[in-house]
Structure 1
Amino acid sequence: MKNTIIDTNFNFPGQKSVYKGKVREVYQLENDMLVMVATDRLSAFDVVMPKGIPFKGQILNQIATKMMKDTQDLVPNWLTATPDPNVAVGLNCDPFKVEMVIRGYLSGHAAREYKAGKRILCGVEMPDGMKENDKFPTPIITPATKAEMGDHDEDISKEDILKRGIVSKEDYEILEDYTRKLFQRGTEIAASRGLILVDTKYEFGKTKDGKIVLIDEIHTPDSSRYFYADGYKERQERGEVQKQLSKEFVRQWLIENDFQGLEGQTVPEMSDAYIQTVSERYIELYEKITGSDFIKADVNDIQNRIEKNVLEYLNTKQ
């Protein structure tokens, strides 16, 4: 697919370092400023797919931007500006080495573990007698250790996080509190759009003055799973697959094509036609969760567009 952004190699004024994650590329500048570029890369099972998805980076960046603005009264975040559809600028933070995963329903990874007979996930008990996609009595927090690019995130319990000193008890209690508040707000926003926020993950960091803030993305299709609320109950009662908007449909396609990111497995070829359907699903989620039409940015020369917009923004900061 042409007109996608897979990799960047910018050299901004005052640039100190670059970190390349699975999807985002983060440029650290002087004055504790970060420039985060959302690429069109697609990752599943912690593996980056060979081809990009048109407009995916723009979609992720703009959903995350809107959701941070819609939750900043609850939880402080790192964001200060969005000078380009694919770019967020904000505070340089020291990230916590855990992802705070919260689940309202037995879906995805939790459902696969449950089906395998497990009833404890990350030290949290899951009730007997549940069906896939049933609602938990109370949302459960199932943290994961943060992985570098290409490595698998690993489930970890709160007890192990504290025992290993990954996060202090005082800080972890704040992370838990923020996670529940954000999930509640996300649930309310989704419900107002006819969606169910099934599960999601949040990442946090500390600013130089020691304040804990939300970083990275929030309530995007890469970090969250959504069901359509209409017909959810009926589908559960009939034992049918839920209609959903999330990256899970990509994971299911990969599983059907014998890929789960395991050693020795090869990523199946994604045709241009399939990639186009993935792009359309991302656009559908954007419009559903934001309640706004998606306006496609000019993708004739994405690299130059981003560089121009970021440089113009940085010039206003001098």
Structure 2
Amino acid sequence: MISDNLIRNQINNTLQSTNIEGLGEKFEGKVRDNYRNSNGMVIVTTDRISAFDRVLGTIPFKGQILNQLAAFWFDQTKGIVDNHLIDMPDPNVMVVRECESIPVEMVVRGYITGVTKTSAWYNYSSGVRNFCGNVLPEGLKKDQKFDHPIITPTTKTEKHDRSLSREEIIKEGLVDADLFDRMAEISLKLFDAGTRIAANHGLILADTKYEFGLLDGKIVLIDEIHTPDSSRFWFMDTYQQLFDEGKEQRKLDKEYVRTWLAGKGFLGDGDIPAIPDEVKIEAAKRYMQAYELITGRVFEAVPGNPAGRIISNLKTKGVLM
């Protein structure tokens, strides 16, 4: 684990945004800058952090961690479903095959938790008992394990995600029944693989989301997989005790930042509270720890100016002329 001082020194040198001339047409997401050109897509994972459908600022080294961790998981799960990754010319960059995006995110939940408006616990504690077509029994407690994982899809092309059932998604024409069912089957297989690999490293994969595209009619996994942005990870060794005591789980994901914001009364509306450096440092350390525990590899941070490094590496690899 790298030092707090190294992280602190990087706070003013994070990758907020990119504008790379000659790389293609740019489309900016919450975290990723996507460039489309005649050879496909180039995705730059920035250090931006989002929660409650809002971009909050940046976390040092976050983009590098997400990108490298997604690449790890793409490799681990390629036997389940093909993915869009072609090459990684820089720690923050992927060259990928461009796919026809599917406007539905497949959210798989093994536990009932979360503070966002689309999370299972937020809805359950608000009285919802039929969540995205899943009938939930009375008496569930926060962070309790479901008898089996459930799927709670959301839209992904709108400003604010909407949680919908399978029937609602089909009725709205977002995808047809066959495509939805194929995505659901793949999602459960991916979640099972993620759960097993995380458990081998002392972690619980509480929930996650998957995004898919179509390439020549085939379903392809895109974006990211099992990262601290798209997933909730807890420590296995303290889960039961903390659950029994009604305490917060030890987290290795951006739920730490979400919880801090919720404690300030922010759930997506109004002004975003300024995130203190200490919270940013702690968040960065959790992202790094997640990377190291999941992959079994030491995280090798690349400090300095990421924007300049990215352009240099893209030119060296022939991605940028």
What TM bracket, shorter-length normalisation? over 0.9
1:315 Cα shift? 5.5
Q: Does 1:235 align with 2:242?
A: yes
Select 1:220's aligned residue among 220, 227, 236.
227
* 2:77 counterpart letter in structure 1: T
- CA pair 7-290 structure 1, distance change in 2 beyond 3 A: same
Instruction: Specify the SS of the correspondent of 1:243.
Output: coil
Please provide the CA RMSD for this pair.
1.5
Instruction: Specify the SS of the correspondent of 2:207.
Output: strand
TM-score, structure 2 length as denominator? 0.92
Give the structure 2 partner of residue 211 of structure 1.
Answer: 218
Give the structure 1 partner of residue 7 of structure 2.
Answer: none
Distance in 1 separating the partners of 2:46 and 2:203: 26
* 1:53 counterpart letter in structure 2: I
Distance in 2 separating the partners of 1:304 and 1:241: 40
TM-score, structure 1 length as denominator? 0.93
1:231 Cα shift? 2.3
Give the structure 2 partner of residue 312 of structure 1.
Answer: 316
Instruction: Specify the SS of the correspondent of 2:68.
Output: helix
Task: Work out whether residues 197 and 227 of structure 1, in 8 Å CA contact, stay in contact via their aligned partners in 2.
Answer: yes
Distance in 2 separating the partners of 1:247 and 1:59: 13
Q: Does 1:102 align with 2:112?
A: no
Give the structure 1 partner of residue 8 of structure 2.
Answer: none
Select 2:31's aligned residue among 14, 23, 31.
23
Instruction: Specify the SS of the correspondent of 2:48.
Output: coil
Select 1:271's aligned residue among 276, 287, 295.
276
Distance in 2 separating the partners of 1:59 and 1:124: 33
Instruction: Specify the SS of the correspondent of 1:34.
Output: strand
Instruction: Specify the SS of the correspondent of 2:140.
Output: coil
Select 2:161's aligned residue among 139, 153, 160.
153
Distance in 2 separating the partners of 1:252 and 1:169: 36
Instruction: Specify the SS of the correspondent of 1:42.
Output: strand
1:88 Cα shift? 0.8
CA deviations over 1:161-211 (Å, ceiling 9, x no partner): 11111111121111001100100000011001000000000000011x221
Q: What's the % identity of the aligned pairs?
A: 45
Any stretches of 5+ residues in structure 2 without a counterpart? Answer: 1-10
Task: Work out whether residues 12 and 311 of structure 1, in 8 Å CA contact, stay in contact via their aligned partners in 2.
Answer: no
Give the structure 1 partner of residue 208 of structure 2.
Answer: 200
Instruction: Specify the SS of the correspondent of 2:234.
Output: strand
* 1:205 counterpart letter in structure 2: G
Give the structure 1 partner of residue 78 of structure 2.
Answer: 72
CA deviations over 1:239-270 (Å, ceiling 9, x no partner): 222222111111111011111112xx211111
Instruction: Specify the SS of the correspondent of 1:26.
Output: strand
Distance in 1 separating the partners of 2:193 and 2:168: 28
Give the structure 1 partner of residue 54 of structure 2.
Answer: 47
Q: Does 1:285 align with 2:290?
A: yes
Give the structure 2 partner of residue 247 of structure 1.
Answer: 254
Distance in 1 separating the partners of 2:103 and 2:163: 12
Distance in 2 separating the partners of 1:315 and 1:159: 43
Distance in 2 separating the partners of 1:40 and 1:238: 35
